Amino acid sequence: MDINKIIAKLPVGFAEEASGMNGDQLRAEIIKAETSLRWVQQEMKADEKLTGARELMKDLSASYNETKRAQRAKIDYALHVLEERGELGIGAYGDADAEDATTGKQPAKRGKKSAA
């Protein structure tokens, strides 16, 4: 947990105010914040414009998502067939010592560096 990121999201002055609170006051703040979150979530669910926008987004993106799923399925199936044939990991794309097909350079070696 990065406390600086959390502090940046706080309302102005809350960090200073909270540092002066005792344990019971801090617990009360937690309960107030949880209650507020629940209320906001209920309001979001009840917001007809927001619900309509979600549905519109879902409808508009459906064809894109279907295309992405089909392409992912092609990749998965091709990998499956290669694995069944015992060809997965063979050749320039699977051989760690082979040159990179796009750059023509040897890949960086991974592992421990030797002490010189």
pLDDT of the residue at 37: 97
pLDDT of the residue at 89: 79
pLDDT of the residue at 116: 44
pLDDT exceeds cutoff 50 at 114? no
pLDDT of the residue at 68: 97
Alpha-carbon gap, residue 25 to 18, rounded angstroms: 8
Q: Which two tokens stand for residue 29?
A: 């703040």
